[in-house]
Amino acid sequence: DAKTTQPNSMESNEEEPVHLPCNHSTISGTDYIHWYRQLPSQGPEYVIHGLTSNVNNRMASLAIAEDRKSSTLILHRATLRDAAVYYCIFNFGNEKLTFGTGTRLTIIP
Amino acid sequence: DTEVTQTPKHLVMGMTNKKSLKCEQHMGHRAMYWYKQKAKKPPELMFVYSYEKLSINESVPSRFSPECPNSSLLNLHLHALQPEDSALYLCASSQGRPLLVVEQFFGPGTRLTVL
């Protein structure tokens, strides 16, 4: 199974940037990196995905290390609504997403 | 409409009951999924349907029986469940093949309790 390593929990102050790390040392050259988040009492929600280059969208940025063995999800200005469990996943372009244990992000007002 | 709906929101059933969970999407997606999530654990994939055909079964016990009657609907039939099957059951959908690296849209889940 595709295995990622993330810190169990992180805290950040509101309106400050948040950097959520993920290690995926067994990733292969064709595996994509996905990030999802799960807000309390909701289903997971797609955040962003990438292959090799850094990616930006309206929710976040994804910075991928040159060797692709790690990546960082960047929330540029955290709000209370960003408090969630963030999951980093890698897979080879198929429907199967294997969720790791994720990082529980707490935002401090 | 970018919503996946699931009914019921909550379900309590006995070990001898037969019940069904329902999932619906109207985004034209051709891949649909069932996940199981125990408390404080990540979601675990159970089944994937692609173009209404079962494409992935993650060795799920036969007391869980999925059905995809059409491209918008996904059911999960439950029979003779055990208390350890109590969990949040999540449905998701995505555009499907040939587009694989696309986002999955998740529903809010059905919270199942087996007594």
Q: What is the pLDDT along chain A (109 residues), one digit of tens a residue?
A: 568 999 999 999 999 999 999 999 888 888 889 999 999 989 999 999 999 989 999 999 999 999 999 999 999 999 999 999 999 998 876 678 889 899 999 999 9
Sheet holding A55-56, edge to edge: A18-23, A70-75, A61-64, A55-56
Sorting pLDDT into bands at 50, 70 and 90, what band is B38? very high
Q: Closest partner residue to B42 among A43, A96, A102, by Cβ?
A: A102
What percent of chain B clears pLDDT 70, i.e. is strictly above it? 95
Contact A100 B104 (CB under 8 A): no
Mean pLDDT of B34-60: 95
Q: So what's the pLDDT on residue A2?
A: 60
Q: From chain B, pick out residues whose CB is under 8 angstroms from the CB of A44.
A: 43, 90, 92, 104, 106
Q: Does A90 touch chain B (CB under 8 A)?
A: no
Q: Closest partner residue to B104 among A93, A97, A98, by Cβ?
A: A97
Q: Closest partner residue to B31 among A93, A95, A102, by Cβ?
A: A95
Chain segment B73-94, per-residue pLDDT in tens: 999 999 999 999 999 999 999 9
Cα separation of A94 and B12, whole Å?
34
Å between B81 CA and nearest CA of chain A: 23
Query: What Cα–Cα distance (Å) separates residue A77 from each residue in A61, A71, B50?
Result: 11, 19, 38
Contact B106 A96 (CB under 8 A): no
Q: Does A55 touch chain B (CB under 8 A)?
A: no
Q: Does A98 touch chain B (CB under 8 A)?
A: yes
Query: What Cα–Cα distance (Å) separates residue A12 from each residue in A77, A82, A84, A103?
Result: 10, 10, 12, 12
Which of A95, A96, A97 best tests the B interface by mutation, with the highest count of B CBs <10 A?
A95
* Residues linked to residue B25 through DSSP beta bridges, in sequence order: B4
